[in-house]
Structure 1
Amino acid sequence: MPFDLILRGGRVIDPSQKLDAVTDIAFAGGKVAMVGHALHADGKTVVRDVSGHIVTAGLIDMHTHVYWGGTSLGIDAEEFCRTCGVTTAIDTGSAGPGNFAGFRKHVIEPSQVRILAYLHISHAGIFGFSQRVMVGESEELRLMNPVEAVEVAEANRDLIVGIKVRVGRHSSGTSGIVPLEIALEVAEEVGMPLMAHIDHPPPSYEEVIARLRPGDVLTHAFRPFPNSPATAQGTVKRAVREARERGVLFDIGHGQGSFAFKTARAMLANGFAPDTISSDVHALCINGPAFDQVTTMSKFLCMGMPLTEVIAASTVNAAMALKRPELGSLKPGSVGDATVIAIREGQFDYVDVVGEHLTGNRKIASEGVVIGGRWWHPN
């Protein structure tokens, strides 16, 4: 079989195969073709020496906002992904049923980076999110659009992976838990998972997770007080453990206000690692405190989470949550996406959303990506 590209001599870490070995990986026809030693290259094969680096499946950022130009919080997916090693960006509710068509035509379809989306239950998605205007789209129940959300989700199953809703004092105001109930009804109707945002109460963390089903995702799961999953004594709340036991998934969604080292230390100390690590990158946090996906991953690495688990939380675990098993793996036949990273050593300053700083001795840095079986960067 002729190969289009071979990554030669890297340390391949692929938790989907329990693989951690120095080897080669070859791509052909847009897919992973073979993993093995000293793979043969013919005259047309591009060979890149990645010795001394780590090769993973293409990183998946489970929580981004990339409706660039369509919403005030959107960032450019291609530039973001080129610099932080992400090959699949999951947009979480930037667009709703009233404006998803524009998101698809003007951003998703032209993008060389894969963009999948959770569809917002609110008609125009997250439309009022900027430095000067902050309107919680779930505050106004007249904007809830379940009928058209079902229609749009059904018509765009190739791109829409689930339904998104934001609840909390800043996003749903006095509407409380009602938008979540509406979103769950839509998710049930279309047979898709739901991703729920949570911020300050009301509603409480416990009220939200009590309603989530197996396979549904709570994002901002390691947020600071109030609505933290950890108790004041540093234990994990019983309701949180019970939700995981019945299959609720816990995603980081760092963002501008939703990740605290104090919470993360308590959760990790109790053996409660996140299912997925994501940045919640948007226009207001891309320059800090979230920055990007590899920075968010680095924070967990520096708090003691094993590298293989950090990688799994950004590859195979995310793919399973999205019900897209062709992603997040370097098994032959999988989508031909890969990320090349380096683990740099030194003294690195990390900050969370409440201003706590952590000095870490390691940093995950992106050294390049493969998309569709070819070495990639924007034109």
Structure 2
Amino acid sequence: MAYDLVLTGGRVIDPSQGLDAVTNVAFEGGRVAAVGRDADTAGAADVRDVSGHIVTPGLIDLHTHVYWGGTSLGIDAEAFCRTSGVTTAVDTGSAGPGNFMGFRRHVIERSEVRILAYLHVSYAGIYAFGRNVMVGESEEMRMMAPLDAVEVAEANRDLIVGIKVRVGRHASGTSGIAPLDAALQVADAVGLPLMAHIDHPPPSYDEVVERLRPGDVLTHCFRPFPNTPLDGRGRIKDCVLRARERGVVFDIGHGKGSFAYATARGMLEQGFEPDVISSDVHTLCIDGPAFDQVTTLSKFLCLGMPLDRVIAASTVNAAKALQREELGSLKPGSVGDATILSVEDGAFDYVDVKGVHMTGDKRIVSEGVVLAGRWWHPQEAGAFRAKDAAA
């Protein structure tokens, strides 16, 4: 069979198949067509030699803010994905039911990279998140729009993967946990998962996580004090362990203020890895401390998570959280997205949201991207030049 694109010679790491081997990956008709000896280059329209690099399913960043131009925190999805190896950017609540259609028409539908969205239960989403103005959108209960959110979610099921809410002293202020209860009603009505943001108390980490259902996502799960998953003795809280047992998804959501090495080390030392690693990239953290998805992944590699599990946390695990298991895999028939990575050795400086620095001995670097079965972008001009396929 003559394929549209074949990647040759790369180390293919696909946790969805338990695969870690040097082999070929072929794409046809926008999907993965073959992996291994069946991925023949003969007659292929495009052949790229990626020897010496890692090929993974297209990376999924489960927590981003990419409503560029529509909200103050939105960044340009394509520019971000080109440098971060991300093929699916999931926007988490930038838009609410009052402005989602603008997000859809002016950003999502024009984007080459895939953008999915959690719809905010607040009418205008996260509308005042900036350097000079910072208003918690969940504090004003008059902005809670459960009826409108149900209507918009039902009408846009191709793009909306869940319902978002932000609670905490900064996000919901005197409204406390009430916005979470409103969002849970919406999520239940439309049969979608909820993603809950948590910042400083009130409410407490315990109050939030105890309300979450199987499949719901707690983002910012490795927060610094206060509102961490660890108790005063450094042990994982019982409510956290119960939540994992019932199927709550724990997502990093690094961002500007939501990831600390002290918390991460305490959790990892007790065998509690995050289900999903995401950047929470937005205008206030893209220049640090989060930077991008591969930097966030690199931090966990340097903290001791094995490479295959770091990749799983940005591919198959994220796809399961989205209930879009055609993503995050290189199984034949899956969506034809792939990311080309390298892991560099050296001494690299990484900083958390508290300003604590860690010198890591490895760095994950995005080298190129395949989107919908076609070569989209190499990081360097001339890299991975197309080869003439064998006759």
Task: Map 1:192-203 onto structure 2 (within 5 A).
Answer: 192-203=192-203
What whole-Å deviation, never above 9, does each CA across 1:195-215 have from its counterpart, x for those lacking one? 000000000000001100000
- Distance in 1 (CA, whole Å) between partners of 2:340 and 2:131 is 35
**Is 1:181 aligned to 2:161, yes or no?**
no
1:325 correspondence with 2:325:
yes
Q: Percent identity?
A: 74
Distance in 2, Cα, partners of 1:236 & 1:319: 26
The residue that corresponds to 1:30 in the other structure is 30
User: What SS does the corresponding residue of 2:215 show, helix, strand or coil?
Assistant: coil
The code of the aligned residue for 2:73 comes to L
Structure 1 residue 42: Cα displacement: 3.8
Cross-structure match for 1:70: 70
Q: Does 1:160 align with 2:197?
A: no
Mapped to 2, the partners of 1:356 and 1:230 lie a distance apart of 19
Secondary structure in structure 2 of the residue aligned to 1:209: helix
What corresponds to 1:137 in structure 2? 137
Measured against aligned partners, the alpha-carbon deviations of 1:222-260 in whole angstroms (never above 9, x if no partner) come to 000000001232211111111111111100000000000
Cα RMSD (Å): 0.9
TM-score, normalised on structure 2?
0.96
Deviation at 1:311, TM superposition (A): 0.3
What is the match of residue 104 of structure 1?
104
Q: Does 1:302 align with 2:305?
A: no
Residue type of the alignment partner of 2:268 = L
**Displacement of 1:43 after TM fit?**
4.1
Distance 1:141 1:41 in 2: 59
Instruction: Indicate the residue corresponding to 2:120 in structure 1.
Output: 120
Taking the aligned partners of 2:210 and 2:284, their CA distance within structure 1 comes to 30
- State the Cα distance separating 1:37 from its structure 2 match: 3.1
1:266-345 correspondence to structure 2 within 5 Å: 266-345=266-345
* Residue type at the aligned position of 2:352: D
Contact 2:14–2:20 at 8 Å: present in 1 too?
yes
Runs of 4+ in 1 over 4 A off after TM superposition: none
Letter in 2 for 1:59: L
Q: Where does the alignment leave 5 or more consecutive residues of structure 1 unmatched? A: none
For 1:15-73, what per-residue CA distance to the aligned partner results, in whole angstroms no more than 9, with x for missing partners?
Answer: 00000000000000000000013732244521111111000000000000000000000
The SS at the match of 1:210 is helix
Give deviations 1:273-301, integer Å, cap 9, x for gaps: 00000000000000000000000000000
Moved more, 158-167 or 44-53: 44-53
Instruction: Find the counterpart in structure 2 of residue 249 from structure 1.
Output: 249
Q: Which residue in 2 is equivalent to 1:261?
A: 261
Partner of 2:146: 146
* 1:154 alignment partner AA: E
SS at match of 1:132: coil
Report how many residues are paired: 378
Match of 2:49 in 1: 49
TM-score, scaled relative to structure 1: 0.99
After superposition, where does 1:218-229 map in structure 2 within 5 Å? 218-229=218-229
- Rounded to whole Å, the distance in 2 between the matches of 1:365 and 1:377 is 14
Residue in 1 that maps onto 2:381: none
DSSP-derived class of the 2:294 partner: helix
Tell me which residue corresponds to 1:234: 234
Equivalents in 1 of 2:142, 2:317: separation in Å? 36
**Cα distance in 2 for residues equivalent to 1:293 and 1:358:** 17
Letter in structure 1 aligned against 2:365: A
Q: Counterparts of 1:343-354 in structure 2 under 5 Å?
A: 343-354=343-354
Question: Match for 1:153: what amino acid?
Answer: A
1:257-276 Cα offsets, whole Å, 9 max, x none, are 00000000000000000000
Q: Which AA in structure 2 matches 1:273?
A: E
Q: CA deviation at 1:110?
A: 0.5
Structure 1: how far apart are the matches of 2:261 and 2:249? 20
Tell me how far 1:2 sits from its aligned partner.
1.7
Mapped partners of 1:186, 1:329: distance in 2 = 30
Q: Distance in 2 between matches of 1:259 and 1:320?
A: 23
Counterpart of 1:252 in structure 2: which amino acid? Answer: I
Structure 2 counterpart of 1:360? 360
In 2: Cα distance, 1:291 partner to 1:196 partner: 22
C-alpha contact (below 8 Å) 2:6/2:44 kept by paired residues = no
C-alpha separation between the residues in 2 aligned to 1:154 and 1:286?
A: 32
Distance in structure 1 (CA, Å) of the matches to 2:191 and 2:146: 14
Matched residue of 2:10: which SS? Answer: strand
Q: Unpaired segments of 5 or more residues in structure 2?
A: 379-391
